[in-house]
């Protein structure tokens, strides 16, 4: 007889998901005759193509497979191997197009792999989108049942969780209103609430938390945490490192369809930012004006070591190394922007050297970015070079991209989004005035 403890250990130690040599290949068709933006083919097209190929094969039987003439193979995933134990909470990180969604779709059996084998022990529920199958004409109440059934819940299960779902979604008053009249916030809340009350052994969640207001997002995260406390296995894809940190211990890093790491979240997170940074550093070419040539732009920590992972609670230094080819005054202006919108600029006229005349030779100029200033996310840095005066300028747009990682220090227990281009840490205090 296994004791409760043994059983618990058994659940923890046994394999939930085992992935061996997983690969997924897509065939991309290049259409010469017409640019169709639809994936599907018309019967006539495909009949005529196969007749053409048949003809070709008959005429030139030794030429090989002609049907692949204008198609190209694309491996969205290749040689993926990993194993997840029951009760593990694993994050999946990767750049856009790294294969995260494909992996989730294969694990949740929406699409099939091209190579390899996956063994899953237990009931899987996947949440790749909130509100799948919601029908706008049906009421909130009706959609709870419909959506629940689509996600694999039995009618009794939905009935049991019904009050909790309504409570969680905060839509009690609108339960009998068709969801087409719902605000987008209500819609998302209701959809997530249904999904959050699933009771699978393994839960697969795509970046669905990117929707809804901040307060609701943290509520969702709490709910997910609760789920995992119950010994359930959770796979969670997110770009939000803070959200991942709140939920996962380990993470999988995907890059270009390959698995490049499956370790502790912090290790994987820094690998991930290094990956992004490297990608952009490689693009740097020297910038030349009449007077100077910028040889190198680096990000350093305060101890002058190269820094690849920038975190909003640690300051850093941007260092320009350049050669002055013609004697004169040189000044810089640095501009941080996000999504094409300038966040702030800073001019080097606080540096006494700004007003000095530089002889030819090699120089470096640094700019110190304080901690607790930047928001998390990707900033693009542009550089303006002044020669002699403020009127004589040369602009270099987007010479460097940096990704600022989230800081738990500024966030504290808040997991929602931060609006704005900067996220300074400000002093807050309260005092008691009178009763």
From 8-16, 244-252, 376-384, 406-414, span contacting other proteins (CB under 8 A): 8-16
From 135-143, 279-287, 336-344, 348-356, span contacting other proteins (CB under 8 A): 135-143
Question: Which of 123, 134, 277, 121 minimizes the C-alpha distance to 193?
Answer: 134
CB proximity list for 209: less than 8 A, separation 6 or greater: 217, 220, 221, 238, 240, 243
- For 131, 336, 393, the CA distances from 351, given in Å and listed in that order, are 55, 19, 18
When asked if residue 78 is in the footprint of other proteins (CB under 8 A), the reply is no
DSSP 68: G
Nearer to other proteins, 231 or 361 (CB): 231
- For 97, 267, 296, 322, 352, the CA distances from 277, given in Å and listed in that order, are 17, 15, 15, 21, 31
Structure tokens at 336: 């941080």
Contact track, other proteins, 81-120, x by CB under 8 A: ------------------------xx-xxxxxxxxxxxxx
When asked if residue 63 is in the footprint of other proteins (CB under 8 A), the reply is no
HSE value, Cβ hemisphere, 13 Å, CA-based, for 270: 9
Contact track, other proteins, 11-30, x by CB under 8 A: x--x-----------x----
From 134-142, 253-261, 346-354, 378-386, span contacting other proteins (CB under 8 A): 134-142
When asked if residue 129 is in the footprint of other proteins (CB under 8 A), the reply is yes
Which residue's entry shows tokens 């020669």?
A: 387
When asked if residue 72 is in the footprint of other proteins (CB under 8 A), the reply is no
- Shortest approach of other proteins to residue 133 CB, angstroms? 5
Structure tokens at 75: 């491996």
Whole-number Å distance between alpha carbons of 101 and 269: 18
- Shortest approach of other proteins to residue 380 CB, angstroms? 33
Whole-number Å distance between alpha carbons of 400 and 309: 14
When asked if residue 213 is in the footprint of other proteins (CB under 8 A), the reply is no
The single residue among 151, 186, 221, 252 that binds other proteins, judged by CB under 8 A, is 151
The single residue among 55, 133, 231, 370 that binds other proteins, judged by CB under 8 A, is 133
Nearer to other proteins, 116 or 315 (CB): 116
# of chain residues touching other proteins (CB under 8 A): 50
């Amino acid at each position: 007889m296994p004791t409760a403890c043994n059983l618990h250990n058994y659940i923890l130690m046994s394999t939930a998901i085992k992935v061996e040599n997983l690969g997924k290949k897509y065939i991309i068709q290049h259409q010469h005759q017409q640019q169709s933006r639809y994936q599907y083919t018309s019967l006539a097209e495909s009949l005529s193509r196969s007749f053409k190929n048949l003809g070709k094969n008959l005429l030139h039987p030794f030429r090989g497979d002609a049907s692949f003439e204008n198609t190209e193979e694309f491996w969205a995933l290749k040689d993926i191997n990993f194993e997840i134990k029951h009760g593990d909470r694993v994050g999946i990180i990767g750049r856009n197009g790294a294969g995260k969604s494909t992996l989730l779709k294969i694990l949740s059996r929406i699409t099939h792999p091209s190579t390899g084998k996956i063994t899953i022990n237990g009931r899987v529920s996947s949440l790749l989108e909130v509100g799948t199958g919601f029908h706008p004409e049906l009421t909130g109440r009706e959609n709870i049942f419909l959506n629940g059934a689509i996600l694999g819940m039995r009618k009794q299960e939905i009935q049991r969780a019904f009050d909790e779902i309504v409570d969680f979604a905060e839509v009690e008053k609108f339960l009998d209103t068709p969801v087409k009249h719902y605000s987008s916030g209500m819609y998302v809340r209701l959809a997530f609430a249904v999904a959050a009350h699933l009771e699978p052994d393994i839960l697969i969640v795509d970046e669905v938390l990117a929707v809804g207001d901040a307060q609701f997002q943290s509520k969702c995260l709490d709910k997910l945490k609760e789920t995992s406390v119950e010994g359930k296995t959770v796979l969670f894809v997110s770009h939000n490192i803070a959200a991942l940190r709140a939920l996962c211990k380990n993470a999988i890093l995907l890059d270009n369809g390959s698995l490049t790491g499956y370790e502790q979240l912090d290790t994987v997170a820094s690998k991930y930012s290094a990956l992004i940074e490297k990608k952009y550093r490689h693009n740097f070419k020297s910038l030349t004006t009449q007077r100077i040539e910028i040889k190198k732009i680096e990000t350093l920590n305060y101890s002058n070591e190269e820094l690849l992972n920038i975190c909003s609670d640690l300051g850093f230094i941007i260092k320009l190394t350049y050669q002055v080819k013609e004697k004169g005054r040189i000044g810089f202006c640095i501009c941080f922007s996000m999504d094409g919108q300038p966040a702030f600029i800073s001019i080097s006229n606080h540096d006494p050297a700004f007003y000095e005349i530089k002889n030819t030779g090699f120089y470096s100029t640094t700019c110190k970015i304080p901690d607790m200033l930047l928001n998390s996310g990707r900033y693009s840095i542009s550089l303006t070079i002044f020669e002699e005066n403020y009127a004589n300028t040369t602009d270099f747009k987007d010479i460097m991209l940096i990704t600022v990682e989230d800081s738990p220090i500024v966030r504290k227990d808040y997991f929602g989004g931060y609006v704005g281009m900067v996220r300074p840490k400000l002093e807050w205090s309260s005092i008691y005035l009178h009763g």
